[in-house]
Every structure is written in structure tokens, then in C-alpha cells.
């Protein structure tokens, strides 16, 4: 018997009620999820329930990302789900912003794979979410993008051009943008905007500074631009975010 056939035969013998997937419950720093083709959550481990502020899995089943997350995030995650199902290919190591029920924004690394029925038809998606700090580094030591990423993290509140980042990596602008998007599943400019919005979330929650002051401190030199970018990434305006999540 071929090894792949041996594996399939063994997996087919597993009782679907045996809780094979519950091994994920022992991984406190890894969220596991599975959704059907309509985007409804069908399974989640304890780490995911904790992220959503839930006690039991029953509070998760049948809900969608829109029931727990800001609209723009939910729409982005749904678009990714649809692409995984359409292409029937995994989407790996996506660096994204995540917001918990308390409004705390954090960086996560997400992996998504198609879920197939026994006949091979794709019927949903499953995946994992890990905190960026505990995940395997997206960039390996010595990667050309490492200097650019370090510069971004140290200067994201200042004017930063893609050309400047490309030069720090020893790449052309075109090469840099292509490499960056392949590594982080987003453009350098979008990554910069997410960093600024993430910083602004903390300032909105933990300080009494004015919206204008926070916009300037976060690297936005126009409050209207700040409000537009914040709403695009978080689904609500900075003022509504503060009122909803203020301590």
C-alpha cells in the first residue's frame, strides 16, 4: 500500500467525535478555528474562545467574524476565506492586526487552509492564529528585508518612503515591494498604516490626549486622513473606538 493511501485509510477510520482537533486546546498561544463555506464558525479551541471572551464553544458555533470583530477586519478575513476556497490553496503566514473584546490591538500571524469533504469538494476553511511575538519569525536571520522592517518599527511615526526602505534592503523599489508583499501578504504602505493605527489604538485607550494630538503622535499629519485610515482598518472612527473601549 502506498504511504499516502495508508495515511488516508488510517484517517478515515477515526471517529469524527473522538476530538482529534481538541489537541489544539493544549496550545495556549495558538488559536484554532474552522468555518463552513458561508463563513460560520464551526469549531474553535480554548485559546480562540478566550480571544473572543467566551466560556463555551457553543457561544461560537454558527457565528461569523462580524459578530466579534470590527467590520473592516471581518470583511478582510472573509475575503481571504473566499480566496482560499476559490483557489483551493492555503494562505500562509499572513501578518495582520487583531482586536480582542477589550479593544486591545495586537499583531498576529494567520494560516488558512481549505477544508475538504470526503469527495474532495472544498466546504470551508480552517486555520490557526498566533501572536506575532510567539510565532516563528516571518523573516529569517540575514533576510534582505530585516533592515527595512527594523527601520519601519523604529520610525513608523515619521515620514517613511518606500524608496528609502528599498535602499536600506539593497533592493530596487519594485523588488522590495514584491518581496515585502510575498513575506507579509500586504504592501509596505499598508503595513506602515497598520503600525500607526495599532499605536493610535493604545493611545486612545490609555491616555486622555485629544484625537488631534494622537493623530500627530501616530504619524498622521492631517486628522481627516487619520480618521479615514483608522476607520478603514478598525471599522469605526477614533472617537467611537475611545468611547467604546476606554478603561
- Structural domain includes residue 176: yes
Contacts of 3 (CB under 8 A, 6+ apart): none
**Are 114 and 203 in the same domain?**
no
C-alpha grid cell, residue 183: 513575506
Same domain? For 44 and 160 the reply is no
CB 79 within 8 A of CB 94: no
Mean pLDDT of 14-42: 78
Of 229, 239, 182, 171, the residue nearest 205 (C-alpha) = 239
Assigned domain for 136 exists: no
pLDDT computed for residue 238 by the predictor: 93
pLDDT digits 0-9 by tens, 104-142: 778 888 999 999 887 889 999 999 998 876 545 556 555
> Over the range 80-110, which residues count as b (16 or more CB within 10 Å of their CB) and which as e?
bbeebbeeeeebebbbbbbbeeebebeebbb
Do 114 and 20 share a structural domain?
yes
Whether 71 and 181 map to the same domain: the answer is no
Contact 40, 63 (CB under 8 A): yes
pLDDT value of position 145: 83
End of a domain among 74, 101, 131? 131
Q: Are residues 201 and 159 in the same domain?
A: yes
Model confidence band, residue 39 (pLDDT cutoffs 50, 70, 90): very high
Q: What CATH code is carried by the domain that includes residue 11?
A: 3.30.450.20
> Left if phi > 0, otherwise alpha if psi is -120 to 50, otherwise beta: which for 131?
beta
Q: Is residue 139 part of a domain?
A: no
Q: Within 10 Å of residue 4's Cβ, how many Cβ atoms?
A: 8
pLDDT at 187 over 50: yes
Same domain, 201 and 89: no
Amino acid at each position: 500500500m502506498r504511504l499516502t493511501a495508508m495515511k488516508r485509510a488510517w484517517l478515515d477510520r477515526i471517529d469524527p467525535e473522538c476530538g482529534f482537533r481538541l489537541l489544539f486546546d493544549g496550545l495556549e498561544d495558538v488559536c484554532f478555528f474552522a468555518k463552513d463555506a458561508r463563513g460560520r464558525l464551526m469549531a474553535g479551541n480554548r485559546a480562540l474562545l478566550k480571544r473572543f471572551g467566551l466560556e463555551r464553544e457553543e457561544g461560537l458555533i454558527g457565528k461569523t467574524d462580524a459578530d466579534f470583530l470590527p467590520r473592516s477586519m471581518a470583511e478582510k478575513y472573509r475575503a481571504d476565506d473566499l480566496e482560499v476556497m476559490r483557489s483551493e490553496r492555503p494562505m500562509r503566514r499572513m501578518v495582520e492586526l487583531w482586536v480582542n473584546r477589550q479593544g486591545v490591538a495586537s499583531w498576529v500571524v494567520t494560516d488558512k487552509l481549505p477544508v475538504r469533504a470526503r469527495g474532495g469538494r472544498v466546504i470551508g476553511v480552517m486555520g490557526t492564529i498566533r501572536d506575532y511575538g510567539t510565532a516563528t519569525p516571518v523573516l529569517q536571520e540575514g533576510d534582505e528585508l530585516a533592515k527595512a522592517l527594523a527601520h519601519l518599527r523604529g520610525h513608523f511615526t515619521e515620514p517613511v518612503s518606500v524608496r528609502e526602505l528599498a535602499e536600506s534592503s539593497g533592493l530596487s523599489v519594485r523588488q522590495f515591494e514584491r518581496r515585502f508583499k510575498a513575506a507579509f501578504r500586504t504592501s509596505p504602505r499598508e503595513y506602515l498604516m497598520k503600525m500607526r493605527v495599532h499605536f493610535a489604538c493604545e493611545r486612545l485607550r490609555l491616555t486622555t490626549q485629544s484625537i488631534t494630538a494622537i493623530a500627530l503622535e501616530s504619524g498622521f499629519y492631517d486628522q481627516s486622513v487619520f480618521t479615514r485610515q483608522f476607520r478603514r482598518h478598525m471599522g469605526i472612527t477614533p472617537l467611537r473606538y475611545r468611547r467604546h473601549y476606554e478603561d
